[in-house]
Chains A and B, each alone.
Chain A
Amino acid sequence: MGKYLIRRFLQLVVVSFVISVLVFMLVHLLPGDPTTQILGANDTAANRAILLKQLGLNLPLWHQYTIWLNAAFNGNLGTSYLNHESVTHILATGAPVSLELIILSQILAFAVAIPLALVVSRKPNRALDNISTTTTFGLLALPPFVVAPILVAVFAVGLGWFPATGYVPFNQSPATNIHDMILPAVAITAGSIAVYFRLLRSDLISTLQQDFITMARSKGLSNRRIMWRHAFRPSSFSLLAAAGINIGSLIAGTFVVEALFAMPGIGLALVQAVEQRDYLVVQGISLVVAIAFVVIQFIIDFIFTIVDPRVVRE
């Protein structure tokens, strides 16, 4: 187990380094540079040269990279060229919003997908199963930018149950925070519900045909006990793997949802920074998000070793 974890950790370090190089290079491969945004109509050759020097963008790329990486190791990811806000501050204020959105959406996804899969897998191909499967298939085809306006039209403008846009930090008003978060979380979670439900249903149907389930039934155990204690755990490996992989699409989903619901998360900050060629903000957010993604995968791998010790042996 120890060797396995050390090996995975070393892989994490290498991947993080590669990510840092890729993030830096990809940002600089984008056409244009921040001087266009900063100078606007004063974008003369002379002004541009002065500004490039001021921003250190006249240095060779490798030099810029080492300066940036060195500062990043010291916790300084730089400041926005445009509004002069530090990238760490942008992350500190934006990450809780995005993180809360992702966590809430996953809680909602599991809360819907797991019970539904447990119910329909007992009697597959019946009416409820068919309805659920068809509905989730439809959900899978609906991206957040389609779901969000529909939710707003029905539940905000139509019924007036939720606000159309807005965000109040949890520490200011927990109730308002959760209330404001529900529509964005539902918008982002629709696809997750479909994926989790379909995977778990399929695995449960397969597990319920195993001999140990027949044995449990013959012992007279209740259906509830069989489903939760005997069938659910061996059927949840795919679900767990999917949840890990899904983090990437959830992060991408927050970019859209945060912009639509005017939520000050890192997704919105990143989209704006890309549009404005605000290199340091793009690099800082991309690096942190990418490393967070890798770390989450590492944690999920670790959880796998607990849920299924065969993973380590293999």
Chain B
Amino acid sequence: MSDEHGISRRTFMAKGVAAGGAVVLAGAAGSALAACSSSTGSSSTTAATGSAPGVGTGTPVPGGTLAVGLLSEIDGFYPPQNHWDTSGYIYAQCLFDPLMAIAANGTIQPYLAQSCTPNSTSDTWTLVLRPNIKFNDGSDLTATVLANNFAALKASLLTGQALTQVVSCTVTGPLTVLYTLSGPNPGFTAGLATQVGYVFGQAMIDQYNSGNSAPTPVGTGPFIFKEWQPNNHFTATKNPSYWRKGLPYLDQITLRPIADTIQRESTLKTGGVDMIGSTDPNTIKRFQGQSGYQVVDSLTGVIGEPSMAFIMLNTAVAPTNDLRIRQALAMSLSQATVQKIFGGGFTQPINGLFLPDSPYYSATGYPAYNPAAAKKLVASYKAEHGTPTLQLLTITDPRLAQVVQIIQQMWSQVGFDVTISQIEQANLISDFISGKFQAATSYQFGAVNPDINYVWWSTTTAGPVGSIALNFPRNSDPVIEQNMLTGRHTTDSATRIAAYQTVNKQLAKDLPYLWLQQYIFSEVATSRVQNWANPTLPNGMKGYAFDEGIFSPTAIWLSK
């Protein structure tokens, strides 16, 4: 029913943000990403105003209720315990504020924090909060609350790993805390723009500690929690005392999870909601150029690396443990054909993790489509081991079913004996973790900072088949390990770029992933919804407009 597949934001992508937070906290400086971004991704506009899609023009109009159709439901609002995926972050943007935020130029800028500065070795960081900010229950935002936030996040099984490098968070003043790290980390602030950086009220901590596993949300955000009926709707009303003067413009926001893409689109068309998110490229096709709708997508304007759709190959089991087989599979897979079906004709050929407008982009040596060469490699393998048989796993999704059938055909033509198996997503993830697969469809990796993916590629997380391992393909490559650590620790932009380019090349050489295409997020709104992809940060800089399907509701208004 859901149009999310592979490792969905609901399951691993989102948690990758949390776990990746560990990596982000230990990661590279956000400033190095400055050159990664371009303007907001936008494919079309037919807005009445004639403006760029998602960018408001004229004088903001206060008032009104915005209804948004989301891809999925959240499982709760308590950052230490709940999983925030694309939809989860949209909920969070309504109720909470992050300490730091990503600017449109890729740098990490203060949000609730007034400043966050390192010592000379970047292993202690002093964070000063903005003064006179209150939570929506009337309590003050103080350094003590922030330190208590840290304690709750650090103690959590979910978010604790994201903070492994942070040894302590000590209150040094009414609005000042000192983060002490176990080692240098020039990119520490990037982690504070993720789930572990969203600040929640002391009342939530107290409720949780007294046995309420689902505490009522208390934040400093632009809206105040009103009601939540899971799987039906969430409503929040304007925070009249919001610390960012004049914001928000909306009186109320309602979020409605509608799992089915077509139904979500129909609900938009019938006026049930004003905006919808989608991961189906056909949504762009269906609304592009249609009168009265605006479309913003992630085809351009990606900061860092986009989410990628790929075939994952297990390098620890036969026959995919043989590099010749992985090369043959790559060479016999026509990316262009797959993109026609799966990408709706929007996506470009890819050779790795990064898009051409990224500074990390380079030639990678990823095998080109060459079925004749693939046949030779298969013949070479066959002479030693017999016909290579392969099970291709995927989940029950009609679009993916088409894709895997085409791939099965391509691989069969060069000598593979391929069977397709469609299984439930939870089972697929279980198989990934335990290494019980040969080849499988998936999507993953979207990250502002490539370092966030350390956990998926590290030699330290590549266990044997049967054991729990987060390096799902079990690709234990010391060159990748070394360069990921270099990218994490260096303060030199050129060194970092070189390190991630090397990682990209190594992945093209090892072939644990056969790249299919960029995974596309899009947001469609009626023309009366203004300024939903044009956030401004408290310091006046432009914010990251459309971070993998996430938008900020703070500065949205509805035209008359």
Residues of chain A having any CB pair with chain B under 8 Å = 30-32, 36-45, 47-48, 50-51, 79, 82-85, 90, 93, 149, 152-153, 156-157, 160, 163-167, 256, 259-264, 268-269, 271-272, 275-277
Give 10 closest A-B pairs by Cβ, nearest first.
A40-B15, A41-B19, A84-B213, A164-B266, A32-B430, A264-B232, A264-B231, A83-B75, A41-B15, A262-B258
Q: Which one of A32, A42, A79, A149 lies within 8 Å of B426 (CB-CB)? A: A32
Pick the most buried of B18, B425, B430: most chain A CB atoms within 10 A of its CB: B430
Q: Is B133 an interface residue (CB 8 A)?
A: no
B397 CB → nearest A CB, Å: 13
Q: Is B473 an interface residue (CB 8 A)?
A: no
Range of interface residues on chain B?
35 or more
Assess the A42–B73 pair: CB atoms within 8 A.
Answer: no
Question: With A163-B270, A164-B263, A164-B269 in contact, is A40–B19 under 8 Å at CB?
Answer: yes
A277 CB → nearest B CB, Å: 6
Residues of A within 8 A of B232 (CB): 167, 262-264
Q: Which one of A40, A48, A85 lies within 8 Å of B214 (CB-CB)? A: A85
Residues of B within 8 A of A167 (CB): 232
Assess the B270–A36 pair: CB atoms within 8 A.
Answer: no
Q: Is B203 an interface residue (CB 8 A)?
A: no
Q: Is B160 an interface residue (CB 8 A)?
A: yes
What are 17 A-B pairs with beta-carbon distances under 8 A?
Answer: A38-B157, A40-B15, A41-B455, A42-B15, A42-B161, A51-B157, A83-B82, A85-B230, A152-B263, A163-B270, A164-B269, A165-B263, A165-B272, A166-B256, A272-B73, A275-B426, A277-B426
Q: Is B158 an interface residue (CB 8 A)?
A: yes
Chain A interface, >50% SS class = helix
What 0/1 pattern do residues 427 to 467 of B give for CB contact below 8 A with A? 10110010000000000000000000001000000000001
Q: Is B11 an interface residue (CB 8 A)?
A: yes
Assess the B263–A260 pair: CB atoms within 8 A.
Answer: yes
Residues of B within 8 A of A256 (CB): 1
Question: With A83-B214, A164-B263, A262-B257 in contact, is A39–B157 under 8 Å at CB?
Answer: yes
Residues of B within 8 A of A271 (CB): 1
Assess the B270–A160 pair: CB atoms within 8 A.
Answer: yes
B484 CB → nearest A CB, Å: 15
Cα distance A264–B227 in the bound complex, in angstroms: 14
Q: Which one of B214, B231, B467 lies within 8 Å of A269 (CB-CB)? A: B231
Assess the A157–B15 pair: CB atoms within 8 A.
Answer: no
Q: Is B378 an interface residue (CB 8 A)?
A: no
Residues of B within 8 A of A259 (CB): 1, 259-260
Cα distance A152–B214 in the bound complex, in angstroms: 35
Question: Nearest B residue to A165 by beta-carbon distance?
Answer: B267
Residues of B within 8 A of A166 (CB): 256, 267, 272
A274 CB → nearest B CB, Å: 8
Residues of A within 8 A of B158 (CB): 38-40, 42
Cα distance A82–B16 in the bound complex, in angstroms: 17
Assess the B231–A272 pair: CB atoms within 8 A.
Answer: yes
Q: Which of B227-263 contact A (CB under 8 A)?
A: 229-232, 256-260, 262-263
Cα distance A165–B276 in the bound complex, in angstroms: 13
Cα distance A48–B434 in the bound complex, in angstroms: 13
B207 CB → nearest A CB, Å: 11
Q: Is B184 an interface residue (CB 8 A)?
A: no
Q: Which one of A31, A42, A164 lies within 8 Å of B160 (CB-CB)? A: A42
Q: Is B83 an interface residue (CB 8 A)?
A: yes
Cα distance A24–B442 in the bound complex, in angstroms: 31
A280 CB → nearest B CB, Å: 13
Q: Which one of A32, A41, A164, A269 lies within 8 Å of B20 (CB-CB)? A: A41
Residues of B within 8 A of A50 (CB): 157
Question: With A32-B430, A36-B433 in contact, is A42–B18 under 8 Å at CB?
Answer: yes
Assess the A40–B430 pair: CB atoms within 8 A.
Answer: no
Question: With A36-B426, A262-B256, A264-B232 in contact, is A165–B266 under 8 Å at CB?
Answer: yes
Residues of A within 8 A of B206 (CB): none
Question: Nearest B residue to A275 by beta-carbon distance?
Answer: B426
Question: With A84-B214, A164-B272 in contact, is A32–B230 under 8 Å at CB?
Answer: no
Question: With A83-B214, A152-B263 in contact, is A41–B430 under 8 Å at CB?
Answer: no
Q: Is B147 an interface residue (CB 8 A)?
A: no
Question: With A42-B19, A83-B75, A83-B76 in contact, is A157–B266 under 8 Å at CB?
Answer: yes
Residues of B within 8 A of A262 (CB): 231-232, 256-260, 263, 267
Further pairs besides A40-B15, A51-B157, A260-B263: 16, Cβ < 8 Å: A32-B430, A38-B157, A38-B158, A40-B16, A40-B158, A42-B18, A44-B468, A50-B157, A83-B74, A152-B263, A156-B266, A160-B270, A163-B267, A164-B267, A165-B258, A166-B256
Assess the B19–A164 pair: CB atoms within 8 A.
Answer: no
A183 CB → nearest B CB, Å: 11
B198 CB → nearest A CB, Å: 17
Cα distance A285–B390 in the bound complex, in angstroms: 38
Assess the B426–A276 pair: CB atoms within 8 A.
Answer: yes
Residues of B within 8 A of A93 (CB): 229
Assess the A36–B429 pair: CB atoms within 8 A.
Answer: yes
Assess the B467–A32 pair: CB atoms within 8 A.
Answer: no
Cα distance A156–B265 in the bound complex, in angstroms: 11
Pick the most buried of B14, B15, B231, B468: most chain A CB atoms within 10 A of its CB: B231
Pick the most buried of A82, A157, A163, A272: most chain B CB atoms within 10 A of its CB: A272
Cα distance A44–B157 in the bound complex, in angstroms: 10
Question: Nearest B residue to A166 by beta-carbon distance?
Answer: B272
Q: Is B151 an interface residue (CB 8 A)?
A: no
Q: Is B137 an interface residue (CB 8 A)?
A: no
Pick the most buried of B18, B259, B264: most chain A CB atoms within 10 A of its CB: B259
Q: Which of B400-424 contact A (CB under 8 A)?
A: 424
Assess the B270–A157 pair: CB atoms within 8 A.
Answer: yes
Residues of B within 8 A of A42 (CB): 15, 18-19, 157-161
Cα distance A196–B470 in the bound complex, in angstroms: 53
Residues of A within 8 A of B269 (CB): 157, 164
Q: Which one of B160, B214, B426 lies within 8 Å of A37 (CB-CB)? A: B426
Q: Is B346 an interface residue (CB 8 A)?
A: no
Question: Nearest A residue to B468 by beta-carbon distance?
Answer: A45
Q: Which one of A31, A39, A160 lies within 8 Å of B15 (CB-CB)? A: A39
Q: Which one of A43, A263, A272, A277 lies within 8 Å of B433 (CB-CB)? A: A43
Residues of A within 8 A of B262 (CB): 149, 152
A212 CB → nearest B CB, Å: 52
Q: Is B12 an interface residue (CB 8 A)?
A: yes
Cα distance A31–B429 in the bound complex, in angstroms: 10
B526 CB → nearest A CB, Å: 14
Cα distance A135–B467 in the bound complex, in angstroms: 56
A154 CB → nearest B CB, Å: 11
Cα distance A200–B69 in the bound complex, in angstroms: 43
Q: Which one of A48, A83, A84, A165 lies within 8 Å of B468 (CB-CB)? A: A48
A100 CB → nearest B CB, Å: 14
B342 CB → nearest A CB, Å: 21
Cα distance A39–B14 in the bound complex, in angstroms: 11
Residues of A within 8 A of B429 (CB): 32, 36
Residues of A within 8 A of B430 (CB): 31-32, 36
Question: Nearest A residue to B470 by beta-carbon distance?
Answer: A41
Assess the A153–B266 pair: CB atoms within 8 A.
Answer: yes
Residues of A within 8 A of B82 (CB): 83
Residues of A within 8 A of B83 (CB): 40, 82
Assess the A40–B426 pair: CB atoms within 8 A.
Answer: no
Assess the B266–A83 pair: CB atoms within 8 A.
Answer: no
Q: Which of B163-208 contact A (CB under 8 A)?
A: none
B425 CB → nearest A CB, Å: 6
